[in-house]
Every structure is written in C-alpha cells, then in structure tokens.
C-alpha cells in the first residue's frame, strides 16, 4: 500500500485516540503506529525511538509513508524533572521529521504545540495568537522553539507542516502522562472509583481545556484543509472551554452528588499560573473553519457516561 500515514508516539494520550480515528477514516492498512513501547493497535505497529533519525527514515521508506504525525514528547511536569532530556527529545524528534520533508521523502507533517508556549507576561484572558510569549517551562521553551522551526522550514524549504496549540486535553480512552492539566482526566476516574479526588492544583486555577473528540477533529480538519487555508505555519491557537478544578468538581457533582474534592497544590501550581486562562482561537475559525462542540457540561456528561460504562463491563 502506498502513501501511508505514520503516527509517532502512538501509545500516548493523543496518539492512541488519533490512530483509532485515522484507522476508521482511512482503513487499518493505511496507518502505521509507532512508539518506544510495544502497543496494541488495529494497524501495523513499529517499535520506534524518535531520537533515532535513521530508524524513522527506515520506517518511512519501508511503508512508503507520506504523512507523519509526530506526537512523542515529554510533557510539562515530567520535563521539569529532566530538562535536558526533554529538550533533546522534544526538539531532535522534530528535526528528524522536518528533514524528511525537506528532502521531499514525506509530504506533510502534524506537530503539536501547546498553551505552554505562553508565559507569565502573556495576557491571560482571551490570549491572542500573536502576543508576548516568554514561556518559563522547558516544555514551553521547546514548543515555542519548535513553532519557530516549523515556520522556518515552511518559509525556507516549503515544508507543509501544520500545528495546533492544544489546551489541556480530556478523554476517557487514554491516560495523560506528566502534564499539568492531567488532573482534569484523573478527577473523572477517581470520582467513579472512589467518589473523591485530591487535586494537585488550587481550586480557583482556571486553565483552557478541550474534550478529546474536539481535539482529534481539530487535528484532522487542520490536516485535511486546503493548503491555501493554512496561513499560520508556526501553530494555531485552539480553544473550547476554560474552568477551574472547583468548577469541574461542581459539574461532576451534578452527576455524582456525593463526590468530594480536596486540594493539595504541588509544583505544578506554578506551571499552571504561568499559562493563560482562556485562548482566542478566532484565526483558526476564520482560516479553516474551526469550531469546538463540547462545553464543560457536555464533556462531563460524556466522560462520566463512558467511564461508568467501562466499569460496568469489568
């Protein structure tokens, strides 16, 4: 089969959901899932280390890959524990894939950025696409540098690379790992399993969030949009709803009346406070028609329904 799509980081929070949806749309034969750890997928799986440029090149050639989704990264909280490793992993992997496109071996790349590109000097409400950035985390620094390199490769070499600044992502099929927004996934599982949750952020810490269904749809809509519609080659602001742990807990209580939440902020609090509270994604709307579907209420209902259903099956 020709023109396959390769997903690197296929075992991660976004990767596992994206592979599932790409298989549904294009068929299992069209997708190659890759990760450092062996995973369960409907499509072909390759064990692949994003730091190994030659291995990526071989995989691309072996399967005649034309499109790459590069999702392997160390997220904000983990990256603070291993700053140099995070910088290397987050940047080198990107160069390996950008260079394959520069050499015209592949045609198109998706690479995720994040709200972590913003910092404490950024306007926190309705943060514009173009504004002061100055990220203070290693993760944010790597994402901002990556954005600059994506735009550079587009301008200088014509590389068709597309990117989104994801907010915190919430889904029931996959677990997050090492992020500051992870509480918003854990809380649902603990609410179902224990009826209580101890949150590592303060109750009033508002962050931009998005349901995974919206995030996957945004990613595929961006990738399927005509080239003329993609006017930003660094990374697009993307948004759905913003809320605090207390607001999310109140929404969960509408479904599980006895649910309780306590707060024990840790080092992730400072990271959260350096990020915006809400994001202006109007350029994504104007350029390629983006619009989120899930509100906080709709997302909470859907999460609890699916997590409940999974538990009943066990």
* Cβ proximity of 101 and 159 under 8 Å: yes
Quote the least distance from Cβ 208 to ligand SER, whole Å: 10
Q: Which two tokens stand for residue 172?
A: 């029931």
Determine the interface stretch with ligand SER among 122-130, 173-181, 232-240, 299-307 (rule: CB under 6 A): 173-181
- Residues near ligand SER (CB under 6 A), total: 10
Among 179, 208, 245, 276, binds ligand SER (CB under 6 A): 179
- Closer residue to ligand SER in complex, CB, 140/197: 140
69 is catalytic: no
Q: Residues 63, 69, 130, 139: which is the catalytic one?
A: 139
Among 127, 174, 180, 219, binds ligand SER (CB under 6 A): 180
Query: Is 119 among the residues that bind ligand SER (CB under 6 A)?
Result: no
Quote the least distance from Cβ 81 to ligand SER, whole Å: 12
Quote the least distance from Cβ 279 to ligand SER, whole Å: 12
- Closer residue to ligand SER in complex, CB, 106/238: 238
The site map against ligand SER for 121-140 (x = CB under 6 A) is ------------------x-
Q: How far apart are CA 112 and CA 126, in angstroms?
A: 20
Among 48, 56, 72, 116, binds ligand SER (CB under 6 A): 116
* Cβ proximity of 71 and 8 under 8 Å: yes
Quote the least distance from Cβ 207 to ligand SER, whole Å: 8
Query: Is 245 among the residues that bind ligand SER (CB under 6 A)?
Result: no
Query: Is 174 among the residues that bind ligand SER (CB under 6 A)?
Result: no
Query: Is 274 among the residues that bind ligand SER (CB under 6 A)?
Result: no
186-224 burial, b at 16+ Cβ within 10 Å, e below that, comes to ebbbbbbeeeebebbbeeebbbbbbbbbbbbbbbbbbbe
Active site residues: 139
Q: Interface with ligand SER by CB under 6 A: which residues?
A: 75-76, 114, 116, 139, 166, 168, 179-181
């Amino acid at each position: 089969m020709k023109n396959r799509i390769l997903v690197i980081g296929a075992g991660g929070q976004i990767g596992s959901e994206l592979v599932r949806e790409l298989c549904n749309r294009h068929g299992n034969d069209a997708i190659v899932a890759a990760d450092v750890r062996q995973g369960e997928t409907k499509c072909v799986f390759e064990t692949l280390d994003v730091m190994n440029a030659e291995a990526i090149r071989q995989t691309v050639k072996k399967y005649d890959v034309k499109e790459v989704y590069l999702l392997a990264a160390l997220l904000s909280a983990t990256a603070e524990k291993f700053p140099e490793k995070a910088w290397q992993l987050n940047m080198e992997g990107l160069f390996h894939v950008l260079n394959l496109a520069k050499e015209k071996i592949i045609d198109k790349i998706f690479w995720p950025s994040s709200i972590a590109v913003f910092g404490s000097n950024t306007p926190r409400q309705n943060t514009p696409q173009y504004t002061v950035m100055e990220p203070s985390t290693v993760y944010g620094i790597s994402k901002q540098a990556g954005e600059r390199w994506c735009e550079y490769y587009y301008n200088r070499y014509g590389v068709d690379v597309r990117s989104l600044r994801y907010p915190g992502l919430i889904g029931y099929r996959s677990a997050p790992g090492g992020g500051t927004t992870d509480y918003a996934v854990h809380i649902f599982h603990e609410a179902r399993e224990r009826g209580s949750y101890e949150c590592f952020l303060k109750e009033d810490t508002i962050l931009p969030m998005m349901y995974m269904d919206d995030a996957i749809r945004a990613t595929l809509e961006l990738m399927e949009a005509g080239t003329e519609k993609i006017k930003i080659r660094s990374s697009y602001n993307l948004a759905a709803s913003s809320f605090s742990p207390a607001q999310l807990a109140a929404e969960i209580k509408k479904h599980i009346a006895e649910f309780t939440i306590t707060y024990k902020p840790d080092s992730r609090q400072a990271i959260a406070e350096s990020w915006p509270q809400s994001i202006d994604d109007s350029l994504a709307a104007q350029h390629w028609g983006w619009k989120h579907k899930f509100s906080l209420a709709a997302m909470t209902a859907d999460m609890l329904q699916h997590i409940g259903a999974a538990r009943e099956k066990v």
